[in-house]
Amino acid sequence: MTVQKPRLHVLLAGPRGFCAGVDRAIRIVEEALKRHGPPVYVRHEIVHNRFVVEGLERQGAVFVEELDEIPDDGQPVVFSAHGVPKSVPAAAQRREMYFLDATCPLVSKVHRESERHHARGRHLLLIGHEGHPEVVGTMGQVPDGAMTLVEDAAAARRVAPPPGVPLAYTTQTTLSVDDTAGIVAILRERFPGIEGPAKEDICYATTNRQAAVKAVAARSDIVVVVGAPNSSNSVRLREVAERAGAPRAVMVQRGAELDPALAEGCATLGITAGASAPEVLVQEVLDRLRDRFDITTEEVVVAVEDIVFRAPRMRAVA
């Protein structure tokens, strides 16, 4: 006798998963391995996803946290998609390393904006999360003391920039769109003359994925976010899902981490994935759910992305 599985309707948020910056960074490491052979050294996780990192390790990538862990063997060094302080390429040049910068072009845009504001005599307020590699990299584009970190609305209300100095603000690219708008509103109220970016610094991929998960969360009994706990944009997706009306939102890195019992009694489940999570991991979650439920799927698409970033030209192999 066949036991009938309970039905579960799955809403798949679109866009989800890889963005153009993540895709470009991974391609840079893979092309370097193809051209130069292993090892190719990568400073910090190329993107915040262990599945991706472990896949590149199997191909011969070696991940390190600092340049002093890398021997002088002439092999390529790749800087992660999150960006690095100016001190890092400067140190690589002193050691005559061959390095490739996989910084997302939208993060590089924030770096150039920061430099321009500093050159014009403005003190910078950076909205972001302390210790995140992108924040470390952005703060490292200007001299110490030229930028002040503002982590949340409470910090925006109490921040005390140098008196008599014109101000500008910039942001980490992977923040909550709604939270950041609230922080910017506080800063503009307190400092009416503050300069902002010509175009918002939160990247298109973060904005689109948050809009998509809002559309899914409003119809879901539970939302599953596929992503890593150290991935800022993935953590924000879980927070946005809860605020958008999902009774519960959970994060998993792989399908095996998901307890299907969480969906017992649910009619509709939403799924999204952070910008550094490949689609294969979403399929793992679907397969995990199929073990317990008779599922139907529906794509909920709020935007179509067709952006592609070109990888830098690589040095010819001698």
**Alpha carbons 285 and 293: distance in angstroms, whole number:** 12
Annotated catalytic residue within 134, 151, 189, 200: 134
The fraction of the chain above a pLDDT of 70, given in percent, is: 98
For the stretch 195-208, pLDDT in tens is 999 778 889 999 99
Strand, coil or helix: what is 175?
A: coil
- In terms of Cα–Cα distance, which of 185, 184, 268, 277 is closest to 235? 277
**Alpha carbons 8 and 124: distance in angstroms, whole number:** 49
Three-class secondary structure assignment of 41-69:
EEECCCCCCHHHHHHHHHHCEEEECCHHH
Whether 13 contacts 215, CB under 8 Å: yes
Q: Is 134 a catalytic residue?
A: yes
pTM for this model (two decimals)? 0.94
**Mean per-residue pLDDT over the chain, rounded:** 95
- In terms of Cα–Cα distance, which of 232, 267, 210, 295 is closest to 22? 232
**Alpha carbons 79 and 98: distance in angstroms, whole number:** 11
Architecture of domain 20-104: 3-Layer(aba) Sandwich (3.40)
Measured in degrees and rounded to the nearest 5, phi and psi for residue 300 equal -115, 95
Architecture of domain 106-190: 3-Layer(aba) Sandwich (3.40)
Mean pLDDT calculated for residue range 126-131? 97
Question: Would you say residue 312 has pLDDT above 90?
Answer: no
Q: What is the pLDDT of residue 193?
A: 95
**Alpha carbons 277 and 273: distance in angstroms, whole number:** 6
The first and second tokens of residue 118, run together, are 């500093």
For the stretch 202-259, pLDDT in tens is 899 999 999 999 999 999 999 999 999 999 999 999 999 999 999 999 999 999 999 9
**Alpha carbons 277 and 69: distance in angstroms, whole number:** 27
Q: What is the pLDDT of residue 36?
A: 95
Residue limits of CATH 3.40.50.11270 in the chain: 20-104
Angle (CA) 14-19-20 rounded to 5° is 135
Three-class secondary structure assignment of 180-244:
HHHHHHHHHHHCCCCECCCCCCCCHHHHHHHHHHHHHHCCCCEEEEECCCCCHHHHHHHHHHHHC
Q: What is the pLDDT of residue 317?
A: 64
Four-way CATH pick for 7-18+204-301: 3.40.1010.20, 1.10.3720.10, 1.20.140.10, 3.30.70.2860? 3.40.1010.20
The first and second tokens of residue 28, run together, are 């840079």
Which strands form 61-64's sheet, in the order they lie side by side?
Answer: 61-64, 40-43, 77-79, 99-101
Strand, coil or helix: what is 169?
A: strand
For the stretch 176-192, pLDDT in tens is 999 999 999 999 999 99
